[in-house]
A = this chain, B = another copy of it.
Amino acid sequence: MKFFFTFFVMFCFLAAPAAEIAATPAPDFGREALFSVNNLWVMIGAMLVFIMHLGFACVESGLARAKNCTNILFKNTMTPAIGFLSYAICGFAIMYPNSHWLIGHLFGFAGWGLHNPPGPAIAYNGMYTYWTDFFFQGMFAATAATIVSGAVAERIKLSSYLCFTAIYVTVVYPLVGSWGWGGGWLNTLHFHDFAGSTFVHSVGGFAALAGILLLGPRIGKYVDGKAMPLMGHNMSQATIGVFLLWFGWFGFNGASALSANPAIVSLVLVNTMLAASAALVSAMCAGKLLLGKPDLSMTLNGCLAGLVGITAGADCVSVLSAIIIGLVSGVLVTCGVLLFDKLFIDDPVGALSVHLLCGVWGTLAVGIFSPEYKLLTQLIGVAAVGSVSFGAAYGIFFALKKLFGIRVSETTELKGLDLVEHGAEAYPGFQFFSNM
């Protein structure tokens, strides 16, 4: 504008009044409004992701026995707290190193703590502020840890779980995340994971697998080579949790557009809505076929499976592809739950089937259904992220096991973690049958 004005004055008529008008332009309300609305949606999306933590707390506690309910609620309340703080201390800086790459495009670090760069907010990023960026990404970070919580439920020591969470969210999650979302080598390869089928869900799922393998199954889960049902104590709570997760997922996927761009966000939302619906239907049918009756917990896991499945490609597949991805996810999760039981891998809430299997499936589906991306690249991403996150999680759990032990004593497990670890039941006053 200024340059133009200078030129205008110099070149044309040396006219005075015109200059003044052009030199004091009206504030650009349009640009400010666009910045505000984009920023607003990312903030609201982050709040929706926040409510997913309550969703996880409800699903996991609902699918566990009453005697371990307080313990799960405690873990799932502390997980976001620890996650947010550790992400603020250095996780955010590892995940988004900007130009500060230290080892190739494998590991970078932008510095300790949070530092709002100087200059107007709008300059940080045309879409949202630095704080909004942290707010949204911090919510995501804590999600990965929460996935582990359910898989290791009913037998892990509280202290070991909290240690694991702190380390995993501080280092491992942001490290592998930086490869894709932070501009690292997977990003260079044109690997696509829109909202985190891989970077969040399978990163959580692989850690869950490592934890389960090192912990072993719960007492009484496998008797004479057969899986016994250890029923969750509260299906209402589990259902509330699944609905809250679905609700929150609209922010998880929708705000991963990192703007309020109407065309992109609304397509993402419709894909998210329909993939989950399709997965609910296919999981219901698969449950009916394989178990004889339409099982509620299987069906609920179907919903989550569809959501995990569509997360990687919600922005780049058609609505019909989203429905197919969902249908497959619903079948996959049902078979997964049965399969893991055959392998004596005791996962109380089905976290492996939901987050690991469908996280991998969703990431590969991008290579299948979107012409823009290659299946091979997607495979490379899954393998790289999987091996590092499984390896790291196994290492951390293994070290904790050697140093402090990660499993509660047999008497604690039988009595319930609530009384022994926290000195308080979840439902004082209610009468229970034994072993619940």
| Interface residue ranges, A against B (CB under 8 Å) | 1-5, 7-9, 11-13, 15, 18, 21-22, 25-26, 28-41, 43-44, 46-48, 50-51, 53-54, 57-58, 61-62, 65-66, 69-70, 73-74, 76-78, 80-82, 84-85, 88, 113-114, 116, 121-122, 128-132, 134-135, 138, 158, 231-237, 239-240, 242-244, 246-247, 250, 254, 260-263, 265-267, 269-270, 273-274, 276-278, 280-281, 284, 291-297, 299-300, 303, 319-320, 323, 421-433, 435-436
Are A38 and B39 in contact, with the CB atoms below 8 A?
no
Are A39 and B260 in contact, with the CB atoms below 8 A?
yes
User: Could you jot down 18 A-B contacts, CB within 8 Å?
Assistant: A1-B3, A1-B26, A36-B261, A74-B296, A77-B303, A85-B278, A88-B274, A116-B267, A121-B263, A122-B262, A129-B262, A135-B269, A293-B422, A293-B423, A294-B421, A430-B432, A430-B436, A431-B433
Question: A115 to chain B: closest CB distance in Å?
Answer: 9
If A37-B40, A74-B296, A300-B77 touch, does A128 touch B22 (CB 8 Å cutoff)? no
If A277-B85, A429-B65 touch, does A77 touch B13 (CB 8 Å cutoff)? no
When distances are taken between beta carbons in the complex, the residues of chain B under 8 Å from A425 are 231, 235
5 new A-B contacts at CB < 8 Å, known A1-B3, A4-B4, A85-B323: A30-B33, A69-B236, A131-B267, A231-B424, A234-B236
Are B428 and A430 in contact, with the CB atoms below 8 A?
no
| Complex alpha-carbon distance, A269 and B263, angstroms | 27
Are A131 and B37 in contact, with the CB atoms below 8 A?
no
Are B422 and A81 in contact, with the CB atoms below 8 A?
no
In the A-B complex, list the 9 residue pairs whose CB atoms are closest, starting with the nearest: A429-B436, A30-B30, A29-B30, A131-B266, A33-B33, A54-B243, A81-B280, A81-B277, A39-B262
Residue of B nearest to A58 (CB): B240
Are A53 and B432 in contact, with the CB atoms below 8 A?
no
Residue of B nearest to A278 (CB): B85
Main secondary structure of the interface of A (DSSP, over half): helix
Are A132 and B422 in contact, with the CB atoms below 8 A?
no
When distances are taken between beta carbons in the complex, the residues of chain B under 8 Å from A262 are 35-36, 39-40, 121-122, 128-129, 132
| Complex alpha-carbon distance, A431 and B435, angstroms | 13
**Which residue of the partner chain, among B41, B77, B260, B430, contacts A233 with CB atoms under 8 Å?**
B430
| Complex alpha-carbon distance, A190 and B243, angstroms | 38
| Complex alpha-carbon distance, A33 and B260, angstroms | 9
Question: A106 to chain B: closest CB distance in Å?
Answer: 29
| Complex alpha-carbon distance, A233 and B88, angstroms | 36
Pick the most buried of A69, A263, A281: most chain B CB atoms within 10 A of its CB.
Answer: A263
Residue of B nearest to A237 (CB): B236
When distances are taken between beta carbons in the complex, the residues of chain B under 8 Å from A138 are 273
Pick the most buried of A88, A132, A138, A262: most chain B CB atoms within 10 A of its CB.
Answer: A262
| Complex alpha-carbon distance, A4 and B15, angstroms | 13
When distances are taken between beta carbons in the complex, the residues of chain B under 8 Å from A73 are 235-236, 239, 296
Are A270 and B131 in contact, with the CB atoms below 8 A?
yes
Are A266 and B39 in contact, with the CB atoms below 8 A?
yes
If A9-B18, A430-B430 touch, does A424 touch B297 (CB 8 Å cutoff)? yes
Question: A216 to chain B: closest CB distance in Å?
Answer: 23
